[in-house]
Amino acid sequence: YRQPFLAGAGVDYTRIAGPIGSGFTGITGVSQGVVIARINNDLVLADFERNVRNLISDIEESYWQLYLAYRLYDTQVVARNSALRSWREAHAKLEAGGTRNFKPADEAQAKDRLFETQSLVQSTRSDIYTAESRFRRLVGLPVNDGKIIRPIDDPIAAEFTPDWSMCLTEALVHRVELRKQKWNIKSLEFQRMAATSLTKPRLDLVSSYQVNGFGDRLLSQKNTDGITSQGLHSAYGTLLDNDQDSWTVGWEFSMPLGFRSAHAQVENLEFRLSKARAVLKAQEMDVSQELAITFQDLTKNYATAQSNFNRWRAARRRVELFDAEVQAGTTTLDTLLRAQSSLAAAETEYYRSLVAYNVAIKNLHKWKGTLLQHNNVHLMEGEWSPVAYQQAVRRAWARTHGIDAHKLRSKPEPFVSDGYIGEVGVMPAAGAQS
């Protein structure tokens, strides 16, 4: 038995660094306690949550890219059909000998526009397959299962005006990178506390008790050896007689000169702690910068979507007017073909800006740290082994017979809440109802 009273004394040191003098092989420092192990587990969970968040972000962005691919394909199909109708009308006029303001070059130009739109239709159709393959890869679906994935949710077209102060506060609370760095800082603070304890001299209360067995033989039917009065002929016999036990009790004191190793460890942890706090400050600054860029993207993409929508309406009106003039023979076919091309370009840019606006909304939730909640994704712990549930029931039953001691307090004081903020819970056991 060994009980330290100076260096390594107290439950705080044992929980942080483990029992003094009994470290694990290959592990140095003061990071072998249960508290540091639990913090390391939380760091791993933070990495897992960040990976899940990035996956959800990629899936949502891939979804909108698939939506955009379908919209661009529909736009090019409409443009191809308009070009086909214009070419047929021009070809009919050419075979009829022409009309007023019609030239043979108009038919060639209309045919050129037809094949241009046809190539764009083929290209955008291929883009649909590429976007769908990317989406299938992200969600874990086979590349070809005989089904077609087509988005059913339309993007948000209404103006979204978030509050800067609220978003910044949520980001500083929910961002998993900041939470992980704070865990790292807390771990270094505990390690520094334990390392400071090692700068004291070593004073331990030591005691031991030993049961001995002496004999000429390991096992014998008689104990007399003919030499000693006690009879040390059988080792098992003297062991069972319990006459040769020994015990020790005392104090053990040791003090290295200068404590250079202990002080060097404390200084190293202080440097690492200062660096970790500086990294946290830089990360918080990066969070504010990312939010600021996202706010700018929201404003820019919404304004661009509005302008492109108005351009789309104007281009559609322009096509209607020029089509009427061409039918009346008051203008050339070139103006109508240019108007149709402008209409397709305006519609394409509108949907591009609308998708970019929704991606910016997604990025806002991502940089706020609320993307999982926004998409109704929750991280849960899986079931434990049945033995653990049985032990929990027995401990709960034992606590029901206890008397509350209101003046007791736990040491060290709890430094975290009971669980993650908002996004992580515990999965109910099999057969349990919620």
pLDDT in tens, 135-190: 999 999 998 888 899 999 999 999 999 999 999 999 999 999 999 999 999 999 99
- Let me know if residue 139 belongs to a domain: yes
**Distance (Å, whole) CA 191 – CA 180:** 17
Please tell me the predicted confidence (pLDDT) of residue 298.
95
- Let me know if residue 426 belongs to a domain: no
Phi, then psi, of 197 in degrees rounded to 5: -65, -30
Beta strand 2-4 with 202-210: parallel, antiparallel or unpaired? antiparallel
Q: Residue 304: is it exposed, middle or buried by C-beta count within 10 angstroms (0-12/13-18/19+)?
A: middle
- Measured torsion, CA atoms of residues 299, 300, 305, 311, in degrees rounded to the nearest 10: 130
Phi, then psi, of 208 in degrees rounded to 5: -155, 155
Please tell me the predicted confidence (pLDDT) of residue 27.
54
Q: Which position has the token pair 């600021």?
A: 292
- Let me know if residue 220 belongs to a domain: yes
118-136 b/e (C-beta count within 10 Å ≥ 16 → b): bebbeebeebbeebbbbbb
**Distance (Å, whole) CA 339 – CA 324:** 12
Please tell me the predicted confidence (pLDDT) of residue 229.
60
Please tell me the predicted confidence (pLDDT) of residue 28.
61
- Let me know if residue 295 belongs to a domain: yes
| 81/166 same-domain check | yes
| 218/318 same-domain check | no
Neighbours of 375 (CB within 10 A): 15
Helices (H), 251-259: none
Q: Which domain holds residue 225?
A: 203-254
Q: Tell me, what CATH number does 354's domain have?
A: 1.20.1600.10
| 124/186 same-domain check | yes
| 15/130 same-domain check | yes
| 115/207 same-domain check | no
Q: Residue 373: is it exposed, middle or buried by C-beta count within 10 angstroms (0-12/13-18/19+)?
A: middle
| 235/341 same-domain check | no
Ranges of the chain with pLDDT below 50 = 420, 422-434
User: Whole-structure pTM over 0.85, yes or no?
Assistant: no
| 293/187 same-domain check | yes
| 234/341 same-domain check | no
| 375/326 same-domain check | yes
Of all residues in the chain, the percent with pLDDT exceeding 90 is: 50
| 227/347 same-domain check | no
- Let me know if residue 431 belongs to a domain: no
- Let me know if residue 396 belongs to a domain: no
Q: Residue 221: is it exposed, middle or buried by C-beta count within 10 angstroms (0-12/13-18/19+)?
A: exposed
| 86/54 same-domain check | yes
- Let me know if residue 424 belongs to a domain: no
Please tell me the predicted confidence (pLDDT) of residue 409.
67
Number of structural domains found in the chain: 2
- Let me know if residue 381 belongs to a domain: yes
| 151/231 same-domain check | no
Question: Token pair for residue 222?
Answer: 């008689």
Please tell me the predicted confidence (pLDDT) of residue 335.
87
**Distance (Å, whole) CA 423 – CA 379:** 6
